[in-house]
Amino acid sequence: MDYYLIAATAGGPSPAAILVEEFVLCDDYTAAGIDTAAWRPAAARPAPDGHAGGHTCSAAVPAAGAWTGGAPLSRDLRSDAGLRARMTAVDRRAAAQAYARLGGGELPAEPQLRARSERQPLPGDRPLDLGTSPGARRYRILFAGELGTGALASARTALRLEPTGDPRVAGAAAADADGHGFSWELRRIGSGIAWCVDVTARLGAAPATALGALLHHHRQAIRALGLIPVTIERFA
């Protein structure tokens, strides 16, 4: 599961909400939906305009002191740059520490969080036939947000990227695992709008578990740098 701390103001000293997400994956590792749950401490109160931190969507504010479905907050996180500026991606240990510090007690186990979640479906169209060779698949992991210079350098390191000479591509890499061949590249989409990791998998005879592991690693590596994963699509 993915954990996020959201402050009332950018750079705020204490989280005003905790968001927990889990991507729901199909058999081919594309994303079918995101299960979400959200919590804010009982001491937290909406800003005078009725929205936490001045945020513009009242539905995005979880109930104080209680876990609720977090789909509105999750959607806003992907569309609102101001809200993303108040977000910090953390692991479960850091989320548990924040939860206890804010008076929540012990963070519920992940099965309990799943029971409190609501699902937001993601589009699930069939892959386009782009003439890809048999056994090959093309995926895109889409992220909302912007990578600063330092984060971009960290992304190149985390994904082992090499320069390509293409100004549209931040770097590319390739590797083999379990008889499968993989290549990937990091691309900017628009200006300050989004980034994506495009992955081509040339599958061998072994089960495709290595593909799932690679997609998971790349999603988590970029998420840790401050971008929000939006979906995992398959183009072929």
- Convert the pLDDT of each residue in 152-210 to its tens digit: 999 999 999 999 988 889 999 999 998 999 999 999 987 768 999 999 999 988 889 99
The two structure tokens encoding residue 212: 């799932």
Q: Which residues have a Cβ under 8 Å from the Cβ of 166 and sit 6 or more positions away?
A: none
User: What CATH number is given to the structural domain containing 220?
Assistant: 3.30.70
Domain edge (last residue) among 121, 156, 171: 121
Q: 209 is in which domain, residue-wise? A: 136-234
Say if residue 63 is in the same domain as residue 12. yes
Domain edge (last residue) among 66, 94, 121: 121
Say if residue 22 is in the same domain as residue 113. yes
Say if residue 203 is in the same domain as residue 113. no
Segment 146-153 shows an average pLDDT of 92
Residue 17 lies in a domain: yes
Tens of pLDDT, residue by residue over 40-92, are: 887 655 443 444 444 444 445 555 678 999 999 999 999 998 999 999 999 99
Using DSSP bridges, classify how beta strands 118-121 and 180-189 pair: parallel, antiparallel or unpaired.
Answer: unpaired
Residue 129 lies in a domain: no
Task: Assess whether pLDDT exceeds 60 at residue 128.
Answer: no
In this prediction the pTM is: 0.85
Number of domains in the chain: 2
